[in-house]
Amino acid sequence: MRHFLHETDFKPREIGEVFTLAKSYKQKRGKIAKVLAGQTWALIFSKSSTRTRVSFEVGIHELGGNPLFLNRNDIQLGRGETIEDTARVLSRYVHGLIVRTYDHKDVERLAAAGSVPVINALTDFLHPCQIYADAFTLAERWAGKRGNLLGSLKGRKIAFLGDTACNVANSWVIAANLLGMKIALAGPKGYAPSPSLNKILDAHGMGSGGYQFTTDPIEAVRDADVVYTDVWVSMGKEEETRKRLAALSPYAVTAKIFSAAKPDAYFMHCLPAHAGEEVTQEVLDSPRSIIFDQAENRLHIQKAIMTKLALAAKKAKKAKKSKK
């Protein structure tokens, strides 16, 4: 069964196909093949969400399917039913699972125990749907109308400031290496990327250390094509709020820091943003801020990802039947 739990679950060539499909979905919007007709895809969420929940629910509907939202605490999972039993039971009813949770291992356990595609809708470790949408947002700008979407990303530099150990930063490190981009991260020492990232880069033949980490924000943004930040207090870290705000304050993306990047650099943020903390309102409102295009593209890219997984599941089912 094909899943989307990590950025590396699609090979670079396939990421190009996902982007091309997302581009065509974006152009056609309502007039598309109903790839999920007759299907129900369940969303199991243990954390809050605006963009991810709504873009998946709308996307499933636009593909002809039925979205089923399940808050973890409304199902028996929240009362101790195992992840494995939940996966086995839901696989008898639905055609795909979209999961937002804390421990990254939980999405892997769901995928291993179930028999339908699983999509990672954010864990403490990774947020791959976000980063595919972000990279697509950049590619559609840099490639222009007819250019090569993936090719347009090659050699570009992204600077990530703030909590550089968070899920969005981790996902960007992997994606940058996968897509031939350069990435520099700036934050305090205690918030540097986890060494486990190097293992992932190694395991996928991307070499280790495929990123630069510095405590100097100006050094990170120098020559950058993109300046990116995320909240300083990710979901699940609320108890550390005071400590984090104090440690991360030198890494706020201000107009001064943004102006140290290339003159045509874009500002990006996965949202929700906390203006006055990780970024100023002035930068959020800048004409080079593309935060709402990123948010919109979650819809188009996730439709493309679901299409790929649904078609792979159909193919696998057919192959299984013909073996019998």
Q: Give the footprint of ligand NVA on residues 253-292 (CB under 6 A).
A: 270
167 binds, among ligand CP, ligand NVA, none (CB under 5 to 8 A by kind): ligand NVA
Distance between CA 124 and CA 166 in Å, rounded? 7
Distance between CA 274 and CA 281 in Å, rounded? 9
CA atoms lying within 13 Å on the CB side of residue 220: 28
Q: Tell me if 148 sits within 8 A of 156, measured CB to CB.
A: no
- DSSP letter for 50, please: S
Of 39 and 229, which has the nearer Cβ to ligand NVA?
229
Q: Give the footprint of ligand NVA on residues 93-122 (CB under 6 A).
A: 122
Q: Is 88 a catalytic site residue?
A: no
* Contact residues for 271 (Cβ-Cβ < 8 A; gap 6+): 50, 51, 291, 294, 295
Residues of this chain that interact with ligand CP (CB under 6 A) are: 49-52, 122, 130, 270-272
Of 167 and 297, which has the nearer Cβ to ligand NVA?
167
- With 0-12 / 13-18 / 19 or more C-beta atoms within 10 angstroms meaning exposed / middle / buried, residue 297 is buried
* Rounded least distance, CB 55 to ligand CP, Å: 8
50 binds, among ligand NVA, ligand CP, none (CB under 5 to 8 A by kind): ligand CP
Q: Is 202 a catalytic site residue?
A: no
Cβ atoms < 10 Å from Cβ of 123: 25
Distance between CA 269 and CA 271 in Å, rounded? 5
Q: Is 95 a catalytic site residue?
A: no
Residue nearest to ligand CP (CB): 52
Q: Give the footprint of ligand NVA on residues 119-178 (CB under 6 A).
A: 122, 166-168
Of 39 and 52, which has the nearer Cβ to ligand CP?
52
Positions marked catalytic: 100, 127, 130, 230, 270, 298
